[in-house]
Structure 1
Amino acid sequence: MRRGIRFILGCAAFALCLTLVALALLAWDWHAPYQRTGKPALVTVAKGMHAGQVMEDIAREGVVRSRVSLKLAYALYGHPRSLRAGTYRFDRPLTPLQIIEMLNRGEVIFIKVTIPEGLRADEVASFLATLK
């Protein structure tokens, strides 16, 4: 009887230790910016795109260390209604929480365009089409 209780307590202590280690790793991942190398990552969010797909695209571009921690951070701190369509630029080391805040604020890239004076609407449309 006593041996059974000791075994159960040992298993519970082991499970608690594993949980604490997992939480410590998650906290470290959330607060330590990932040092991405290379050129800045651009992630385009299309109108009506599901948040899970956005998180997958961000992870695929190598912006975060762990796809799981990014999805968990979004589940806890993300605002699905504030996910704004556009292109996001990730050009510096960011934590998953900073990425979620960036998405919540809708920090998309704006492209400045100067349209020559006197163009008709169809000419403006063809001019803008050449910029892509």
Structure 2
Amino acid sequence: MFMLSRMKVGLTPPIVYMQPAADETFAVGEALKLASGKVTKASGTDVPSHVCVGGIQKDGSVPCVEVQKYMEFGTTLAAAPASGTTLAVGSKVTLHTDGMQVTATTTGGVAEITSIEGQTAGDVVTVKF
């Protein structure tokens, strides 16, 4: 789950209500991208435009915060880096297929690590986009 960890401004991010892609469910903390003007799950090398902050509303919209350059998000590693590879602050990794974590894959990475607590699956990392 992507949880807002730190912002380099003193403002609370506004919640925006976005229309979802058809037949999709959303989870709080899920990274989202825009596709044809609607939000859908972001994964792999997708740069998220939003993060889900609530369930689908009665009008069908999804509450989100818009991802900004000054925001950092806490999440977890979905897998450990390959043998002989170490992730560090400044490494850019991809998003996991669940849209809730990052991978240890640096090729095409979109999430820049700003802090990291370990090198195994489930370890906490902080990233910015």
TM-score when normalising by structure 1? 0.22
Larger radius of gyration: 1
TM-score (norm 2): 0.22
Structure showing the higher helix proportion among its residues: 1
- Whose strand fraction is larger, Structure 1's or Structure 2's? 2
